[in-house]
């Protein structure tokens, strides 16, 4: 085989590999975590303040623990006075169809239990927010469910 055919064969293989990579990249789903991310980004400073306020109270402790079949969310007792507007979100970065949004209603001891067997296996970003005594509180934690 002379060098002209070798060059032609190399160019054809290169083009086929590039076409394959283009095809594979077009099959990928690249979903945004938030659909209206720009509006939420503008209001993000209030979440930073709410998160810092909660971090001062929690002192590094986690707000959520998971057992075999239940996720336990524990709100500090000093924040249970005038508790309102509790919201709990589970965001799956791989598939937006697995996202969940719940109303957070803890009991008198500040504990909210949620069964995890309805979740598909995966990593979720858990977002917790509520109001207490006119102040907002916010926390994001990564959890693996179920």
Which CATH number characterizes residue 113's domain? 2.60.40
Q: What pLDDT shows up at residue 22?
A: 96
- Total domains, the chain: 2
Question: Do 80 and 111 belong to one domain?
Answer: yes
Range of the domain at 85: 37-145
* 118 half-sphere exposure, CB direction, 13 A CA radius: 7
Q: What pLDDT shows up at residue 109?
A: 83
pLDDT tens for the chain, 146 residues long, are 788 899 999 999 999 999 999 999 998 876 666 677 777 777 778 888 888 888 888 787 778 888 888 888 888 887 787 888 889 898 887 887 888 888 888 888 888 888 888 888 888 888 999 888 888 889 888 888 77
CA 118 and chain centroid, separation: 17
Question: Do 69 and 10 belong to one domain?
Answer: no
78/73 Cα distance (integer angstroms): 15
Joined together, the tokens standing for residue 37 give 């991310």
Residue 125 contacts residue 140 (beta carbons within 8 Å)? yes
């Amino acid at each position: 085989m002379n060098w002209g055919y070798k060059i032609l064969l190399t160019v054809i293989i290169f083009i086929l590999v590039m076409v394959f990579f283009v095809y594979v990249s077009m099959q990928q789903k690249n979903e945004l975590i938030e659909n209206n991310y720009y509006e939420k980004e503008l209001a993000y400073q209030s979440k930073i303040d709410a998160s810092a306020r909660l971090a001062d109270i929690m002192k590094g402790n986690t707000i959520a623990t998971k057992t075999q079949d239940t996720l336990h969310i524990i709100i500090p007792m000093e924040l249970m006075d005038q508790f309102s507007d509790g919201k709990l979100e589970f965001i799956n970065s791989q598939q937006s169809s697995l996202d969940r949004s719940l109303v957070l209603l803890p009991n008198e001891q500040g504990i909210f239990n949620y069964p995890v067997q309805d979740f598909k296996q995966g990593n979720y970003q858990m977002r917790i927010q509520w109001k207490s005594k006119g102040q907002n509180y916010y926390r994001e934690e990564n959890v693996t469910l179920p």
